[in-house]
Amino acid sequence: MSKQNNKGAIMALVLLMSSVVIAAGTALLSTSIMNYKMKRLNSRVKRTFYSAEGVLDEAYIIAFNFVESALEYACDKENFRDTYLNFITGNCEELGSDNSLVKSLKDKSNYLIYKESNMEIDAELFDKSDCMQLEVVSCCTDDKIEKKLKLICRIMIPGYDVSPGEISPEDLICIIEWKLER
């Protein structure tokens, strides 16, 4: 009987097993790297969204304080309602035209937290029949990721029969909508 030489078969088996282990390791490593990249991208998207949302939080506080200042300014004036409206729109002759709610919201120096260069803030004030509508758009950009949020507030106009002591800023400004812009 002749003896068979199994040295080549064992070497082929070792090479086959090694290539299977290397292929499985490569697949796991590729999956792990892809998962890491997706989590990092998701984290950047969330950070961009929350930064844009934070700007709107701060913009609402600035608008609230501006309405409060308008009430304080108009309370001792002869025509309370018109003085209040002129203060909000920046038409007060005593204070100059640079002091309007929209200009105050667009000025990044008024923001305590969000003065970053990757933030853009736009504000518009629309005159409705019984109120004013304030729209503030916040846009945050991080590389190629851009999130744009919009805050819509209603600013009530006090009637002619309302005395200044009867009304507070909480009565005059309220959030209507908070939405993600596409």
Q: Burial of 31 by CB count in 10 Å (0-12 exposed, 13-18 middle, 19+ buried)?
A: exposed
pLDDT of residue 95: 65
What is the reported pTM? 0.80
pLDDT of residue 67: 92
The residues, any chain, with a CB within 8 Å of residue 140's CB and separated by 6 or more, are 48, 49, 51, 52, 55, 118, 119, 120, 146, 147
pLDDT in tens, 125-160: 999 888 899 999 999 998 889 999 999 999 998 877
pLDDT in tens, 91-135: 877 766 568 899 999 988 888 877 767 889 999 999 988 889 999
pLDDT of residue 110: 86
pLDDT of residue 45: 93
Cα 171 from Cα 124, distance rounded (Å): 21
pLDDT of residue 96: 63
